Amino acid sequence: MRTITTLLAGSLLMSGTALADEPVRIAPISYGEDLLESAEDFGERELDTLSGYLERQLNNRLAGLELADGTVLQVTIVDADPNRPTMEQMRATPGLSLQSISLGGAELEAELISADGEVLERFSYSRYSHHLRDIRGAGTWTDARRAMQRFSRQIGDAVAERASTGS
């Protein structure tokens, strides 16, 4: 009987330890006021495109990384500008075409929050193209996606460092 009790106690301790660290949960991505105002111009559907891409980038960077149970990443796409017109913009503005180009990019923010609500770390990143010659061959959201890739890498590196130090 003592052996069974000891085995049960040991397995409970081990399962408690195993539950101490879990993958970081990504909260639904939110949007800044500037982006919400722009969404009327380039189309609401584009918000889903942007947030879906950012979420995939973050999931890829955070895969296999674990922090204390209940850690959440709250992300905001503060603003974003397309390099090429969206379908909604082309519908609304005669003369625009997919060959039209503009300076694009994105501004992003995030907070890594513990289960008890403490902000563990804040992140921000902004990247916009500076000159039209830099965007030849670009798609609609090329510069915004570049910003999201670099932002996701920044967050992934910070979470990996936390995970390896146990903080």
* Beta-carbon contacts of residue 58 (< 8 Å; ≥ 6 apart): 26, 73, 75, 152, 155, 156
What does the pLDDT read at residue 12? 39
CATH of 25-165 given 1.10.10, 3.40.50, 3.30.160, 3.30.70:
3.30.160
Q: How far apart are CA 94 and CA 129, in angstroms?
A: 25
Sequence-ordered alpha helix ranges (H) in the chain: 2-20, 33-42, 45-62, 87-92, 142-165
CA distance 127 to 79: 10
- Distance from C-alpha of 20 to C-alpha of 98, rounded to nearest angstrom: 50
Phi, psi (degrees; rounded to nearest 5) at 84: -130, 155
3 state SS of 50? helix
Tens-binned pLDDT, residue by residue, of the chain (167 aa): 444 434 434 443 444 444 468 999 999 999 999 999 988 899 889 999 999 999 999 999 999 999 988 999 999 999 999 999 999 999 998 888 888 889 999 999 999 999 999 999 999 999 998 888 877 667 899 999 999 999 999 999 999 999 988 76
Per-residue model confidence (pLDDT) at position 3: 41
State the pTM of this model.
Answer: 0.83
Q: Where are the domains of the chain?
A: 25-165
Three-class secondary structure of residue 52 per DSSP: helix
Please give the pLDDT value at position 10: 44
Q: Which of 144, 163, 141 is nearest to 152 (CA)?
A: 144
Cα 52 off chain centre by: 9
